[in-house]
Amino acid sequence: MNIVTPTADDLLAGAGITFDVTIPLQVLYPAGSGSAHAPDAAATATELVVQLRPITIGTFQLIMKAARNDPGLIPLLMIKEALVQPTLTLEQVKRMHLGMVNFLIAHIRTISGLDEKKSPPLD
């Protein structure tokens, strides 16, 4: 087995990666195509893609500190910090429907390595 010692750049490389995430139409328009605000079938042929970056430990610490008195801000601040394209203000993120928030948070958790709820056992 060939053992390689990582460099600092190796360990920090993942923080700079961005991920393209396609938003399903059922998430974008939860009421379905019957909704008055949903576009017609021809307009929905294009995929809607957002760009996300992982949350770093430094950013996560700042989010936790900022949300100390209001834990409901945690997912909103996570979205604001992770969403690269389009860029949204906190007020805009607050206007997202819950399905969109849940969808984005699930992806942010995955790309940030936060899928595991409990610490894995150490060998």
Query: Between residues 116 and 6, which one has the greater pLDDT?
Result: 6
Query: What class has domain 18-111?
Result: alpha beta
pLDDT for res 40: 56
Span 95-105, average pLDDT: 95
For residue 59, CA distances in Å to 5, 53, 55, 81, 107 come to: 26, 12, 6, 8, 17
Dihedral angle of Cα 77, 94, 101, 71, to the nearest 10 degrees: 50
Query: What type of residue is 73?
Result: L
Give 46 or 92, the one with higher predicted confidence.
92
Does residue 77 surpass a pLDDT of 90?
yes
Closest by CA position to 103, among listed 14, 38, 24, 31: 24
Q: Whole-prediction pTM value?
A: 0.78
